[in-house]
Amino acid sequence: MDVFSDVVATMKAGRAKLTRSRCSGRWGNRYGPYPGAGFHVVLKGACWLLPAEGRPVRMSAGDVVFLPNGSTHGMSDTPDRPLEGLPPLSPEGDGPVGGVSHHTHAGRPPAADDTILLCGAYRLGSGTVHPFLRGLPDVIHLPSEPGRHSELRAVVDLLSADTIEDRPGADAALPALLDLLLVYALRVWLEAQCPEASGGWCAALKDPAIGTALDRMHRDPRRPWSVRELAETAGLSRTAFAARFTAYVGQSPIAYLTWWRLSSAARLLRTTDAPIASVAHQVGYTSEYAFAHAFKREFGTAPGTFRRVGRDELPPS
């Protein structure tokens, strides 16, 4: 896969869990902190996001907010509610994985002016979260803007139709729609809000030279890449490439390649039944012993133990 697709793939361990909330009158809930990435979509009406730090954010129908670090925040009908006074609600919901649990804030029949929210979370796999995600701001607000971000708007519209109207096949469609929501939300942020001038992963993914080298590593992690080869793909001298890569990514090219191989192996161990020797080969290790030694150094446990424990932690599909 390309590097951005791989970044998105590191976020998902199993499927997202969801809560659909119908809210009216005076209402509010507190979320987090939690070991995952949360999101809210306003399907109907309007409300306020109350971050732990900073000013409240007004949200309208079609708005998406993404919280990649599981930070504490609230959702409320007004911006003046103290965050610590709001009742807690898990962003992962209480319903089935990939399905929708329902939560109502009002003790009366549904009304035309109710606010309807879709709230959920992806639980992040320990040690496998891509550094791009760790560097994102705590709150990413993507407002609905006529004529802009048409792909994201289309996904929100489909989510709205399947969750508000309870259409046939909605439970089958939701996992795919949530994956698309994640892809388009991060893409919109990267293209429109990512501060390239500040360096870091924003600059790395947008820089033609470094972006090309990253893409080659991700598409062919088995290849025995050298810094010289990667520099040639980037069209830079070895010294210039190594310096720019390290400045943007925060690791040397070979250190990042090693991390990516082992992170990819961790996902394969948890999501496939491939023998450990096969996993090692898929990520560029010719020796199972060398792979096991490197894996234990990175994750603190042997590959087989990591597979068994990780599958016990994952939600059922």
pLDDT at 159: 86
* C-alpha pair distances (Å), 297 with each of 142, 251, 277: 39, 17, 17
Q: Is 67 in the same domain as 168?
A: yes
Q: Is 276 in the same domain as 235?
A: yes
Q: Say which amino acid occupies 155.
A: V
The Cα–Cα gap between 11 and 37 comes to 8
**How many domains, the chain?**
2
pLDDT < 70 regions, the chain: 12-16, 90-110, 112, 124-128, 196-198, 310-317
pLDDT at 314: 47
pLDDT at 143: 93
Predicted model pTM: 0.79
Q: Is 177 in the same domain as 295?
A: no
pLDDT at 294: 97
Q: Is 184 in the same domain as 216?
A: no
Determine the structural domain holding residue 212 and report its residue range.
201-313
Q: Is 168 in the same domain as 206?
A: no
3-class secondary structure, 36: strand
Per DSSP (E only), the strands in the chain are 17-23, 28-31, 36-44, 46-51, 57-60, 64-67, 73-76, 100-104, 115-123, 140-142
Q: Say which amino acid occupies 55.
A: R
CB proximity list for 315: less than 8 A, separation 6 or greater: 13, 14, 15, 17, 97, 123
pLDDT at 131: 85
pLDDT at 20: 84
Q: Is 215 in the same domain as 154?
A: no
pLDDT at 83: 93
Q: Is 187 in the same domain as 213?
A: no
What tokens appear for 310 in the block? 């990780």
What letter does residue 68 receive in the DSSP assignment?
T
